[in-house]
């Protein structure tokens, strides 16, 4: 069974500093995808970044980058130059491998999340 | 485009009552999903529909039923609500892709309390 572990329940960072949110995963699939979502206090889920298991380059999207270490089974999210608006819950999620069984559905397994607070 | 919409936004039920949560998307996505989020937890998949006409169980399906009414709409029904079903329910949709991955788009959620 697939599993996502986020070991940091909460983090506090000064504005403009960089922050790394940890995510480790466990899967027996050779092909899988890793996602990060942001959930502000308003409750919606916002997609941030995606990394495929066969992608050779680490994914980047603006101030977000994903430090993907396949051998260590980690997919940490790095936010550069943090802003007050980055304060939110952050979830790491994994999509099971592509197969006929999944019929093209993108079923996700989520970690428990990390609450990030940016201090002015 | 409205994206993914859910109704209602809030609901309070008594134990044993039934209700249906509605979800609709206007992005022409084939696949739709229902998740629940308990306090301090990540989301867990209840049911999903890979395409119109198909539904399948996720990680926590007990106590729920679903209907894929058409390509746009995917409803979640609680036949006999229990306090353990107090949660925030999210509907999501995605492109159906066999060979690659795509993000899921989430609705705003329904906050359900069962007394």
A85 inside 8 A of chain B by CB: no
Per-residue pLDDT of B32-57, as tens digits, reads 999 999 988 899 999 999 889 899 99
Q: Does residue B101 carry a pLDDT above 80? A: no
Q: Grade residue A102 by pLDDT with cuts at 50, 70 and 90.
A: low
Neighbours of B75 (CB within 10 A): 17
Do the chains contact at B100 and A98, CB–CB below 8 Å? yes
- Picking from A35, A48, A29, A42, the residue whose alpha carbon sits closest to that of residue A96 is A29
Kindly list the residues from chain A whose CB atom is less than 8 angstroms away from the CB atom of residue B106: 44-45
Q: Greater confidence, B101 or B92?
A: B92
Strand partners, A88: A116
Which of A50, A59, A107, A113 is the mutation pick for testing B, counting most B CBs within 10 A?
A: A107
Average pLDDT value for residue range B61-65: 96
**Looking at residue B57, what is its pLDDT?**
92
A1, B89, B27, B49: CA torsion to nearest 10:
50
**Looking at residue A97, what is its pLDDT?**
61
A31 inside 8 A of chain B by CB: no
Q: Greater confidence, A53 or B66?
A: B66
Q: Grade residue A12 by pLDDT with cuts at 50, 70 and 90.
A: very high
Q: Which residues contact A109 (CB under 8 A, 6 or more apart)?
A: A2, A3, A4, A93, A94, A95, A96, B45, B59
**Looking at residue A93, what is its pLDDT?**
96
Mean pLDDT of chain B: 93
Structure-block tokens of residue A101: 């069984």
Residues B108 and A43: beta-carbon distance below 8 Å:
yes
Q: Does residue B78 carry a pLDDT above 90? A: yes
- Picking from A66, A85, A75, the residue whose alpha carbon sits closest to that of residue A110 is A75
In a 13 Å sphere around the CA of A79, the CA atoms on its Cβ side amount to 24
**Looking at residue B67, what is its pLDDT?**
97
Do the chains contact at B58 and A104, CB–CB below 8 Å? no
Per-residue pLDDT of A27-43, as tens digits, reads 988 888 999 999 999 99
Q: Greater confidence, A62 or B100?
A: A62
**Looking at residue B83, what is its pLDDT?**
96
Q: Grade residue B98 by pLDDT with cuts at 50, 70 and 90.
A: low
Average pLDDT value for residue range B9-28: 96
Which of A101, A105, A113, A114 is the mutation pick for testing B, counting most B CBs within 10 A?
A: A105
CA–chain centroid gap for B114, Å, is 17
Mean pLDDT of chain A: 92
Do the chains contact at A95 and B49, CB–CB below 8 Å? no
Do the chains contact at A106 and B42, CB–CB below 8 Å? no
Q: Does residue B111 carry a pLDDT above 70? A: yes
> What is the residue-wise DSSP string for A9-73?
SEEEEETT--EEE--EEE-S-SS-EEEEEEE-TT---EEEEEEETT-SSPPEETTEEEEEETTTT
**Looking at residue B22, what is its pLDDT?**
97
The CA distance from A29 to A41, in Å, is 34
**Looking at residue A29, what is its pLDDT?**
85
Q: Grade residue A101 by pLDDT with cuts at 50, 70 and 90.
A: low
Residues A120 and A84: beta-carbon distance below 8 Å:
yes
Average pLDDT value for residue range A70-81: 96
Kindly list the residues from chain B whose CB atom is less than 8 angstroms away from the CB atom of residue A33: 101
């Amino acid at each position: 069974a697939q599993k996502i572990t986020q070991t940091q329940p909460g983090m506090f960072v000064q504005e403009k500093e960089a922050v790394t949110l940890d995510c480790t995963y466990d899967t027996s699939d050779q092909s899988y995808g890793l996602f990060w979502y942001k959930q502000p206090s308003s409750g919606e889920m916002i997609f941030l970044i995606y990394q495929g298991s066969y992608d050779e380059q680490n994914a980047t999207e603006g101030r977000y980058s994903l430090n993907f270490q396949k051998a260590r089974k980690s997919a940490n999210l790095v936010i550069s130059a943090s802003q007050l608006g980055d304060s939110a819950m952050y979830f790491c999620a994994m999509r099971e491998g592509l197969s006929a069984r999944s019929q093209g559905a993108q079923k996700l397994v989520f970690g428990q999340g990390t609450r990030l607070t940016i201090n002015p | 485009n409205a994206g993914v919409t859910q109704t209602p936004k809030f609901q309070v039920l008594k134990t044993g009552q039934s209700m249906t949560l509605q979800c609709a998307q206007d992005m022409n996505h084939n696949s739709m999903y229902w998740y629940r989020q308990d306090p301090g937890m990540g989301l867990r998949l209840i049911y999903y529909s890979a395409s119109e006409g198909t539904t399948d169980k996720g990680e926590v399906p007990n106590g729920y039923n679903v209907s894929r009414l058409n390509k746009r709409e995917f409803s979640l029904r609680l036949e006999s609500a229990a306090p353990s079903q107090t949660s925030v329910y999210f509907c999501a949709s995605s492109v159906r892709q066999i060979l690659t991955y795509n993000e899921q788009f989430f609705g705003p959620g329904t906050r359900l309390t069962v007394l």
